[in-house]
Structure 1
Amino acid sequence: MVQISFFTSLTTRFSFFLLFAFGQMRDFFRKILDFRKSKNLEGYAPICSGMEDFYVRRVYRRVQDCANRPISSAPDSWIDVVERYSNDNNKTLHRTSNSTRCINLGSFNYLGFASSDEYCTPRVIESLKKYSSSTCSARVDGGTTNLHYELEELVARFVGKPAAIIFGTGYVTNSAVIPVLIGKGGLIISDSLNHNSIVNGARESGAVVRVFQNNNPAHLEQVLREQIAAGQPRTHRSWKKILVIIEGIYSMEGAFCKLPEIISICKKYKAYTYIDEAHSMGAVGKTGRGVCELLGVDPADIDIMMGTLSKSFGSCGGYIAASKDTVQYLKHTCPAHIYATSMPPPAVEQAICALKVILGEDGSNRGAVKLAKIRENSNFFRSELKKMGFEVLGDNDSPVMPLMLYNPAKVPAFSRECLIREVAVVVVAYPAVPLLLNRARFCISASHSREDLVKALEVISKIGDLNKMHAEDNRKKLE
């Protein structure tokens, strides 16, 4: 839980107040100046209206040059960021033919498989020649190849579950699978900081959804006790099914879930567990098997294990690993399996090869070296940021590092200054995070050299001085 100081909270709220106040004033005077113009929409409702439209026009547009930056290279340790310019105060952005070579601290390329690899790349090229770039079909029609079966078997073996099923994207894996697993008469208890794909999947399921405080097993138990005692709304009948959904690493916090405690509580109250390991599978644990390995939890104690292939494995898609009966049920009922186009065969081959490297089945120890490097890089970068006085969230060994910015003016300033100094970063603001908790999020890779990280740290330190972001600066203000 982030502890925001009174001074930081006050200045951040005041900054947003100015943004909203002046934005509302501009809209008010614009209405007066345009009162003669026709408002006739011929019966149509405004397609964009309300606070969302106001926020996009008056807040987001000011900083949209810091988002959606196009790149023109593989997302390796260094990337080419395409230069853009605007002649109308960020209302429209125009690309140029130039690019800036930057240290990449924004991509989820945890093990460095996103660029050319001596083992993976030749085999991916061969699969492209053999199978083409897409199956152009759903899995149940003509969209299943031998590669798809091989990847499902390999994923199941890697994570320690009896069976697995793969999907085209990680987002769809959550949003399409959860409504199939639970419906009306069921109860979903979701962590307050779960990913949007989980939130949408829970809403679509028709089950009652309750939320517990982020990574708080005591509050989870309290919610479980209350809901079991109360039963279903109106009828007070027992719940048909209870599903607790958590994440391995919370993507905006960089923190590991308290998995042993949560599993213990779920067993106590006979609730099913569903864990999203999008950011932890392949990236943490001695052999890359995620938070179960890191925290000493038997995968058999988790009912549904979800993960993506688009981060540690340098591919795309997502998977569900569970019992054979559960996987077979999903193959017959999940719309993402029945109707959506299957994973492209070259992407499947990439995931297979990456897994084989991690497992050492490529005949080398490169997988073990990559896993050791990501831990070393992550812990070095986190410790150095803290030594500089920055407020950094998350746990040791986590490759996700949020650095708190708070004030909305510091968000674009930090991003732009980093880009000028050839460091590409991701900044995150409302509504992706709470209004007062704006941040930058660094993602460390095994492909980063120590020199890369030192250079990035020097840049971040200089920008911290410029923007008064160091913790000691905040303490002086409070004094």
Structure 2
Amino acid sequence: MDNPVLAAFNTTFTTVARGIQAVPGSAIVLDYIKNSYQNDPFRVVLELGLAIYAVKYMLSKKYRIDQSNVQLTEKEIDELVAEWQPEPLVQPLSDIQRMELEKTQVIVGAQGPKPKLLSTGKNLLNFASANYLGYITNEDIKKTAIETLHKYGVGSCGPPGFYGTLDVHIELEKDIARHLGTESAIIYAQGFSTISSVISAFSKRGDIIVADEGSNFAILKGTQISRSIVKWFKHNDMNDLERVLESIRVESLANKKRPLTRRFIVTEGLFQNYGDIAPLDKIVELKNKYKYRLILDESNSFGVLGKNGRGLTEVFNISPKDVDMIVGSMANTLSAAGGFCAGPKEVVDHQRLSGQAFVFSASIPAMLAVCASEAIKILTSPQGEKLLKDLHDNATTFSNVILSAPQSIELSAAAGSPILHLRIPQTALATAKILTRDDEKLLLQEIVDEVATKDGLLITRAKYVEHQELHLPRPSIRISICATHTKKEVEKAAQGIKTAFGKALSRRK
């Protein structure tokens, strides 16, 4: 070979080739590479491009901090630090927020029909807590709780799916399902997160939720985290509900390329923000007509409405099987903790893996689970029937006194409902020159303070997370009736509140 460069290259290549062939197994590797590149030319182009990019990256200019920045002297740094004014971590409190903090009452000792306040040391008649049947002071439940505490300890310290499920949890689920007449039930550790977790476990992105705009804050959060398409209908307006359902049907027919979606109607049984009940018979009729699933939140109606406290299905004599999911809280009527979802077995089993609040939260303490089971047993006994009757009678007595003053009080509540909202009538607002929402809240707070001082009543304004509410209700005083109040106490309380409303409005004229 005349060219010395080619001769040197040939010698080098031959030496390298012999060196590679001397490595054990090299023939197999070379044969694999040769066949791979012959059968897949795209691979050759891809790896060649990656090799070029790697070489270019290695040879590119490395990033360095710019050394031309201005160097400050110690004196200049001290001057800048002295001039710097830090921003507050939170915004300053408004006048109404400061008032709410100052007026918040703190109870000393156990809660009950007549708790003691820290600020005054006085015992007030309690119309502010959801102790509807008086289970908080029930001696039988207290005794059962103490016995369970000694046997199981304080908490389960683990999620239900791992090591947090005890026999008392399983029994409670059976008790709830048996009481409601459903096939199965599942319990959650926290009442607020139950309904939001149930909604998001079944309704996903692209699915459709049709919900009552008067629903509570937990339902609102459930619809938001589900990322579904949410349509709201006017509160308890069945004509508007049908209008929304029909518009969705027409839109679906027009858009034939739209994929098949799951569809849900979501509403409350007894509305926390209004005190009225949903017309379940009409909702079930529309649900069947338009082929929707129904999620019913009975957090306030479970244990309160119906002859045996079974909720709206018992009130309207509707089979629980016609409601796909019955959701409720055990922290209200049962005076325990947590929540539940009852329905068909497949609905319940799905939540054991997909209900986020179930999977990722420690189960409720055994003591509270046993208390809830004991409370359900009382509901079905003669004692429970008497408590429910006393509760409904007290609610009716209170409503009758309030309704005798329609010019100064607007009452929002269903017949026999233990939740009553008292608002200032629209006509009275104009007469009293109440122009803003804050003015209305201040006037209601005056009433709360006056009945606490003069009549010995503990009542409260309804509170909301106002900047997050989608449909913010008007300011109101929320009254919670208890079965352990006597008729005389209820009449006296209603009369005192009625008088306070009248005086507060007269002072503004």
What TM-score, normalized by structure 2, do the two folds share? 0.76
Say if 1:175 and 1:201, in contact at 8 Å, map to a contact too: yes
* Structure 2 counterparts to residues 68-467 of structure 1, below 5 A: 69-83=105-119, 99-115=121-137, 117-231=138-252, 237-360=258-381, 365-389=382-406, 390-405=409-424, 407-421=440-454, 422-428=456-462, 437-467=474-504
Distance 1:210 1:292 in 2: 25
Of the structure 1 ranges 435-444 and 287-296, higher mean CA displacement relative to structure 2 is found in 435-444
Unaligned runs of 5+ in 2: 1-81, 430-439
- CA-based RMSD of the aligned residues comes to 2.4
SS in 2 for 1:409: helix
- 1:353 CA drift (Å): 0.4
Which AA in structure 2 matches 1:131? Y
Which AA in structure 1 matches 2:384? G
Say if 1:429 and 1:437, in contact at 8 Å, map to a contact too: no
- 1:239 CA drift (Å): 4.2
- 1:288 CA drift (Å): 1.0
Q: Percent identity?
A: 25
Pair 1:167–1:40, CA change in 2 (3 A): same
Distance 1:419 1:209 in 2: 42
Say if 2:198 and 2:351, in contact at 8 Å, map to a contact too: yes
Per-residue CA deviation, residues 204-229 of structure 1 (Å, 9 max, x unaligned), is 11211111111111111111111232
Instruction: Give the match for residue 468 of structure 1.
Output: 505
- 1:339 CA drift (Å): 1.5
Distance 1:280 1:236 in 2: 41
Per-residue CA deviation, residues 244-275 of structure 1 (Å, 9 max, x unaligned), is 10000111211010111111001100000000
Which AA in structure 2 matches 1:305? I
- 1:240 CA drift (Å): 1.3
SS in 2 for 1:222: helix
What TM-score, normalized by structure 1, do the two folds share? 0.80
SS in 1 for 2:337: coil
Say if 2:215 and 2:273, in contact at 8 Å, map to a contact too: no
Which AA in structure 2 matches 1:373? D
Per-residue CA deviation, residues 270-290 of structure 1 (Å, 9 max, x unaligned), is 000000001111111111111
Distance 1:187 1:417 in 2: 47
- 1:106 CA drift (Å): 0.7
Size of the aligned set, in residue pairs, is 408
- 1:192 CA drift (Å): 0.3
Say if 1:75 and 1:109, in contact at 8 Å, map to a contact too: no
Pair 1:160–1:37, CA change in 2 (3 A): farther
Of the structure 1 ranges 334-343 and 163-172, higher mean CA displacement relative to structure 2 is found in 334-343
**Structure with more relative contact order (C-alpha pairs < 8 Å, separation 6 or more):** 1
- 1:429 CA drift (Å): 5.7
Of the structure 1 ranges 339-348 and 411-420, higher mean CA displacement relative to structure 2 is found in 411-420
Pair 1:59–1:208, CA change in 2 (3 A): same
- 1:325 CA drift (Å): 0.7
Pair 1:268–1:371, CA change in 2 (3 A): same
Instruction: Give the match for residue 24 of structure 1.
Output: none
Say if 1:430 and 1:438, in contact at 8 Å, map to a contact too: no
Distance 1:403 1:388 in 2: 11
| Higher-strand-fraction structure | 1
- 1:190 CA drift (Å): 1.0
Say if 2:195 and 2:328, in contact at 8 Å, map to a contact too: no
Distance 1:404 1:155 in 2: 35
Pair 1:329–1:431, CA change in 2 (3 A): closer
Which AA in structure 2 matches 1:419? A
Say if 2:184 and 2:342, in contact at 8 Å, map to a contact too: yes
Distance 2:415 2:157 in 1: 42
Which AA in structure 2 matches 1:392? L
Task: Establish whether residue 64 from structure 1 lines up as the match of residue 101 from structure 2.
Answer: yes
Distance 1:429 1:336 in 2: 24
Instruction: Give the match for residue 14 of structure 1.
Output: none
Say if 2:127 and 2:479, in contact at 8 Å, map to a contact too: yes
Which AA in structure 1 matches 2:128? G
- 1:464 CA drift (Å): 2.1
Which AA in structure 2 matches 1:296? N
Q: Which has the larger radius of gyration?
A: 2
Distance 2:316 2:376 in 1: 21
- 1:235 CA drift (Å): 8.2
